[in-house]
Amino acid sequence: MKDALMGFGQKLGKAILLPVAILPVAGLLLGISSALSGQAVLETYPILDNTILQAILQIMKAAGSGVFNALPLIFAVGIAIGLAKKEKGPAALAAVVGYFVLIITINALLTITGELAPPDADPRAYGQGAQFGVLTLQMGVFGGILTGIVTGLIHNRFYNIKLPEMLAFFGGSRFVPIINTFVFLIVGALMYIIWPFIGNGIAAFGEFATGLGTLGAFLYGLMLRTLYLFGLHHVFYLPFWTTAAGGTLEVGGQMYEGFQTIFLAQLSDPETTKFFGNLALFNSGRYLHMMFGMIGIVLAMYHAIPKGPKRKATAGFLLSVGLTAFVTGVTEPISFALLFASPLLFAAEAILFALSFVVASIANITIGSTFSAGLVEFLLFGVFQGNDKTNFLWALLLAIPVIAVYYFVFKFLIIKLNAKTPGRDDDEVTEEEQGHEIIAEDGKAKLIIEGLGGFDNITEIDNCATRLRVTVVKPDKIDAKVLKQTGAMNTVVRGKAIQVIYGPKVNIIRGEVDDYIEQNNIKHL
Handedness of CA 115, 116, 122, 125 (dihedral sign): positive
The H-or-E segment that residue 25 falls in is helix 23-37
Please name every residue paired with 250 in a beta bridge, in sequence order, or none if there are none: 255
Backbone angles phi, psi at 268, to 5 degrees: -100, 5
Q: Residue 285 has what pLDDT? A: 94
**Per-residue model confidence as pLDDT tens digits over 265-320:** 887 677 888 999 889 999 999 999 999 999 999 999 999 998 877 788 788 888 88
Beta carbons within 8 Å of 270's beta carbon, 6+ residues apart: none
Q: Residue 155 has what pLDDT? A: 92
Cα angle value 231/247/39 (rounded, 5°) = 70
Q: Residue 286 has what pLDDT? A: 94
Q: Residue 266 has what pLDDT? A: 85
How many CA within 13 A on the CB side of residue 196? 13
Nearest one of 136, 160, 179 to 524, comparing CA atoms: 160
User: Are 473 and 431 within 8 A, CB to CB?
Assistant: no
User: Are 382 and 395 within 8 A, CB to CB?
Assistant: yes
Is pTM beyond 0.95 here?
no
Task: Give the CA distances from residue 392 to residues 76, 152, 274, 401, in Å, rounded to whole numbers and listed in that order.
Answer: 39, 47, 12, 15
User: Are 364 and 277 within 8 A, CB to CB?
Assistant: yes
Q: Is 246 exposed, middle or buried (0-12, 13-18, 19+ CB in 10 A)?
A: buried
User: Are 479 and 450 within 8 A, CB to CB?
Assistant: yes
Q: Residue 435 has what pLDDT? A: 56
Q: Mapping DSSP to helix (H, G, I), strand (E, B) and coil, where does residue 427 land?
A: coil
- The whole-angstrom separation of Cα 142 and Cα 154 is 18
Task: Give the CA distances from residue 467 to residues 223, 453, 498, 506, in Å, rounded to whole numbers and listed in that order.
Answer: 40, 18, 9, 6
The H-or-E segment that residue 460 falls in is strand 458-463
The 8-class DSSP code of residue 305 comes to S
Residue type for position 524: H
The H-or-E segment that residue 418 falls in is none
- The whole-angstrom separation of Cα 151 and Cα 77 is 9
Residue type for position 495: G
Cα angle value 48/52/54 (rounded, 5°) = 50
Start-to-end CA span in the chain (Å): 22
User: Are 338 and 349 within 8 A, CB to CB?
Assistant: yes
- Which residues of the chain fall short of a pLDDT of 50? none
Q: Residue 433 has what pLDDT? A: 55
**Per-residue model confidence as pLDDT tens digits over 179-227:** 999 999 999 999 999 988 877 776 676 567 667 888 889 999 998 888 8
For 29-96, the three-class secondary structure string (H helix, E strand, C coil) is: HHHHHHHHHCHHHHHHCHHHCCHHHHHHHHHHHHHHHHHHHCHHHHHHHHHHHHHCCCCHHHHHHHHH
- The whole-angstrom separation of Cα 490 and Cα 484 is 7
Secondary structure tally for the chain: helices H, strands E? 24, 8
Q: Residue 192 has what pLDDT? A: 94
Q: Mapping DSSP to helix (H, G, I), strand (E, B) and coil, where does residue 426 land?
A: coil
Q: Residue 4 has what pLDDT? A: 60
- The whole-angstrom separation of Cα 464 and Cα 504 is 9
β-sheet with 458-463: strand ranges across: 458-463, 467-472, 497-501, 490-494
Q: Residue 364 has what pLDDT? A: 94
386 Rama class: left (phi>0) / alpha (psi -120 to 50) / beta: left
Strand-pair category, 248-251 with 467-472: unpaired
| Number of residues that make up the chain | 525
User: Are 394 and 304 within 8 A, CB to CB?
Assistant: no
Burial 392-411 (b: 16+ CB within 10 A, else e): bebbeebbeebbebbbebbb
Nearest one of 203, 287, 261, 280 to 237, comparing CA atoms: 203
Handedness of CA 199, 205, 211, 216 (dihedral sign): negative
